[in-house]
Structure 1
Amino acid sequence: MASTYASPIAGLPPQSALHTGRAVFTEAYALIPHGVMRDIVTSYLPHWRDTRLWVIARPMTGFSETFSQYVVEVLPGGGSERPEPNASAEGVLFIVAGEAALTIAGQSYQLTPGGYAFLPPGCAWSLVNRGADPVRFHWVRKRYEAVDGVETPTAFVTNENDEPIRWMPGTKDRWGTTRFVEPTDLRHDMHVNIVTLEPGAVIPFEETHVMEHGLYVLEGKAVYRLNRDWVEVEAGDFMWLRAFCPQACYAGPDRFRYLLYKDVNRHAKLDL
């Protein structure tokens, strides 16, 4: 089945629009629906040409503290040769529209929708849009937690269409995850995966765990349990969850898919 990838609708609503949106920020989660990702909330970055972005997650004391997530739009001819200012930051790029020319340590790659790149800390990379249409991609960033005796992971590039869905046992291939890194690979301290629920599938218990989450809905709609609330979500929405926020899901009438961030494979900090 061909995949589709939502991204911000941009623009501005008409003056006649009613304030009936679903945006909410609570002590345990935030919901940023696609309808509020407009031109007025975009930002710009140093050393990026003809580029704007929606900042949909950033570290915040007392909330979600481990990562930032952007939806980046690069116009034709735009891009950066100095994209990442923090040598301690690792990153994942996931392409949702257009074609991006990515260079990592002198090696060139052409990323199309579904394209995925992992960029380790200190990695030399650049990205430009040499096409005729805008490029849109997610950029997830995290400060890498190095461990004595554990190697730093290496860069890699793939496409979700080249990776299998790992179906959860007992679900009749209805709920699964496209994993770009093996869970037991201790070099990695974050996972950015794609979760797929076929029509009517469920996450049948309230997951409650230490990992922080960013969930960007790529396709479909669902009713999602967030802490005490059941919330309707659809393509283009973003859910931002603190550690230990209970979560569950009932998928809607079509395939429901989201890009999922979580922090993994490290000791809990004891010196906050």
Structure 2
Amino acid sequence: MTSYYAPHGGLPPQTQLTTDRARFTTAYAVLPKGTMTDIVTSLLPFWEGMRMWLIARPLSGFAETFSQYIVEVSPGGGSDRPELDPGAEGVLFVVSGTLELTLSGEVHQLAPGGYAFIPPSSEWTLHNRGDEVASFHWIRKAYQHVDGIDVPPAFVTSDAEVEGLEMPGTDGAWRTQRFADPTDVRHDMHVNIVSFEPGGAIPFPETHVMEHGLYVLEGKAVYLLNEDWVEVEAGDFMWLRAFCPQACYAGGPGRFRYLLYKDVNRHATLSRQFV
């Protein structure tokens, strides 16, 4: 059965030990699920009945390309002006509750596993019309326009509708669900779901130019981040800068799955004229 971890807030008791798995280094950061308490939430303009955990933002000299929020919307909450930056594209991924997305005049009901790609300058609204709190990931990036290439269109789908493709030579132990066509260069970011069966692994240190945000939706694993092996579990977030070596072993007893952001399909920026 598919499950998606969503933070619950609250505060730990005064008797809890302070030592935790939280790390911030020059190559990566780890935000364990226990760091997502009430006192680190934020609000946004023109939203009602919401709070969010801002888990990634551009920082000079570290990660540069994206921001990521976990947004919690109470019944009756939402926004008619959710995005104030006309140059921002976004992906929404619902992890609990139900949300009503109106995108270019069309209404969509997003249940857990629901996924929406929103191009820059889109007209959209988002509301919780249900009786339960809803939570979703909101990944945002400044879209990099290229002369002669169109902006990709909006689309709405779900985890259940996108097949997980087996990575070569893994007998299904490692699969990736690609929500956007990886050969479509109109897209300058991908937000996918990566899954490992118990014992599955990335058996070599991936070292590449894409920076990553990885939110663990389900399960646990031991993850290589630069020179460190770090235990991670559902609800943890990892933030990797470009060229940070990474690998993992899925520990079981169930699947290990994470929501993955990466920047793709664009030249490296060499001068301000292309920013």
- For Structure 1 versus Structure 2, the TM-score category normalised by the shorter chain is over 0.9
Q: 1:192, 1:111 → 2: CA distance?
A: 17
Q: Deviation per CA, 1:192-251, whole angstroms, max 9, x where unpaired?
A: 000000000000000000000000000000000000000000000000000000000000
- Cα deviation for residue 178 of structure 1 reads 0.5
Distance (whole Å) between structure 2 residues aligned to residue 167 and residue 96 of structure 1: 24
CA contact (8 A) 1:115 1:158 kept: yes
Q: CA deviation at 1:19?
A: 1.2
Q: Equivalent residue for 2:71?
A: 72
CA distance in 2 between counterparts of 1:71 and 1:189 reads: 22
Q: What is the correspondence of 1:1-272 to structure 2 with a 5 Å cutoff?
A: 2-253=1-252, 254-271=254-271
TM-score between the two structures when normalised by the length of structure 2: 0.98
CA distance in 1 between partners of 2:148 and 2:203 (Å): 38
Q: Partners in 2 of 1:113 and 1:263 — Cα distance?
A: 25
* CA–CA distance in structure 1, aligned partners of residues 77 and 6 of structure 2: 19
Q: Distance in 2 between matches of 1:269 and 1:166?
A: 31
The AA in structure 2 aligned to 1:179 is R
Q: Report how far residue 74 of structure 1 moved.
A: 0.4
Amino acid aligned to 2:38: D
For residues 118 and 68 of structure 1, the distance between their equivalents in structure 2, rounded to whole angstroms, comes to 15
1:124 Cα deviation after fit: 0.3
1:102-147 deviation line (CA, Å, top 9, x unaligned): 0001100000000000000000000000000011000000000010
Q: Which runs of 5+ in 2 are unaligned?
A: none
Indicate the percent of aligned positions where both proteins have the same amino acid: 65
Structure 2 counterpart of 1:147, one-letter code: V
Distance of 1:80 and 1:134 partners within structure 2: 15
Per-residue deviation, 1:8? 1.3
Q: Which amino acid aligns with 1:184?
A: T
Partners of 1:271 and 1:30 in 2: how far apart? 28
Q: Given that residues 102 and 128 in structure 1 are in contact (C-alpha distance below 8 angstroms), is that contact kept between their aligned partners in structure 2?
A: yes
* Contact 1:9 1:34 (C-alpha < 8 Å) held by counterparts: no
Unpaired segments of 5 or more residues in structure 1? none
The TM-score normalised by the length of structure 1 is 0.99
Q: CA deviation at 1:191?
A: 0.1
Corresponding letter in the other structure for 1:195: V
- Alpha-carbon distance between aligned partners in 1 of 2:262 and 2:247, rounded to the nearest angstrom: 16
Cα displacement (A) at 1:20:
2.2
Q: Give every structure 1 segment of 4 or more consecutive aligned residues whose post-TM-superposition deviation is greater than 4 Å.
A: none
